[in-house]
Structure 1
Amino acid sequence: MGGRKRSRESSYDEVMKKIRKLEKKVKKKARLPSTSSSTDDDTPQNQMEPSEILGRPLKKTQGTLRATLRPTQRYLRDLLGGDPTPEKIFDENVHKDIAKIWSHILLNGLAKDVRMDLLKRYLPPENCTSMRAPKLNLEIKAALTEINSKKDAYSQSKQNQLGSCLAALGKALNIALASDTSQDLIKLLSDAGRLLCDYHHKESQSRRYAIINTLNQQTKDTIKNTKIDEFLFGTDLAEHIKSSKAITKSGMELRPPPPPPPPPTVGNRQRPKQNVISQPPAVRRGTLNARGAGRAAAAEPRANPAPRRPPTSATTRDQQQQHSSRTATRYQSNRRY
């Protein structure tokens, strides 16, 4: 790089020296009187052309000078860096009346009656029905909440207003193409229309993303790749959902059964299962208000019962009755305490 720079500077210095010599000789020749006997229209014979002095045409010398300067200027610009001036963010002014009206609408909006009148005046053309906002599929609308449904309806109304803008712009383009209008005007109208069409498409994408985030994962995977047409998720959305459900069902049938759960463990050892036989609870006898422990369940009848005692005499019977009465009296006294 250093040798190339020195060669450019040396060639530039040589050319400048030749130009200075040429200027000096031209000035000297202009000062000397003309000694020729020719007429005033004839040029002096001893006057030399600049091309003869340099040995080549002057135009080529100037072209060589420009060709020498341009690479040097580019090289210096690369060394200094790019232009730090910020990019231009505003363009030439519009008409003052247009600026006044549009500024008011941008800050305050249109009146409702004026907006409705403009929407009725500029309807989408018959051969470009995509200017209308795509409708929301009934299958998706049934799955949305009331708030999300109202949000989508508002976005749909904005898209319809954008379609009216495109319709008005299309009429202006028809007039420009039918008449002898400048190509610059046609290009400006066409650029404005393309930008509005792209914004219309972005609004449809925004509506789709807002709705998809409210659905379950299976439905998301089904509808995220659908195409926009008259409806937001395509006219064949019902078929996509049916086929997705059928595929999911077939996949569940083809899967192997899950393995059985492992047996419960106690510490590091597995505890074997034991067959536990459920037994009915013991029947508690006696009154609920009785004190003390409940009575035990009745014993099962013996297989070989003991023989009955022989009948006792009257004296023995009286003694037994007295003993039982004393026992009952003692039991009642204990209950009092």
Structure 2
Amino acid sequence: MQRRRIKPLHLSSSEEEGTEDLDVTLGNDNESIVEPISVPPVISHNVDPVPDDNQRDGHTEACPQEETNSSAEPELDPDLLSAIGESTSDSPDYGDDIHGNLSQLWLPLLKKGIPIPSKDILMKDYPIPENCRLLQAPILYAEMSAAVPEMVRNRDKTLTASQQQLGTGNTAINRGMDLLLKSDNKVLAMKHLSNGCRLLCDSHYLTTQARVKLITPSLDKAFLNIVKESERDKSLFSSSLSEKIKAAKVIEKQGLSIEKPAKTAKPPQ
């Protein structure tokens, strides 16, 4: 078998690099047998960079991290908040809790009020002080009372009673404050303060009842019983009133579905 040397064609500069002469072997039939070409290994371009001196010594520089709380809102200056104005949210802003024993005293009174006999005793125990007569509810003279309709007079009587109770409650609180200023009898002073708070809580309850009476005449008669049985919480007619109304409607529909239809009278022949 003869060997013949073949020179490569002229290639471009990029193709010439790493290209060697090709050895071709002639077989028995003078066929050219090209020997395998040795291709230089391909070097990947994604090679890790050579570590610098600091990395060789075991020291790596930490890259600055981005702030994780970039979305956090900065607090506004109090002067800016004052310039913006107060919040108009419908939800009330509650303050710090009062003593638990006090809360247990006032909550039942705010829901049901003071029994009338107990309230009459409190009203008599605290007459309006002589030097603060304006705590007394003002009188409507007979001439003015005769000039207005009866409905207005009745409404004025209700408001007068409520106003008088507010004055009496303020009187009880002032009795307690007067004792604290003039003596150290804290027990009796606390009793006067408590009685004043009781009267004020009852006035709060009476105002709630007045609002209920103002609204209920405009409601459907089918739901008056539900409204009357509801007990106030943060809502005037209880927060669960809507669920109770839905349940009442479902019961009404079920009752109509099982009700026996009335027989129609046959016309006389």
Q: TM-score, normalised on structure 2?
A: 0.35
Calculate the TM-score normalised by the size of structure 1.
0.29
Q: Which has the larger radius of gyration?
A: 1
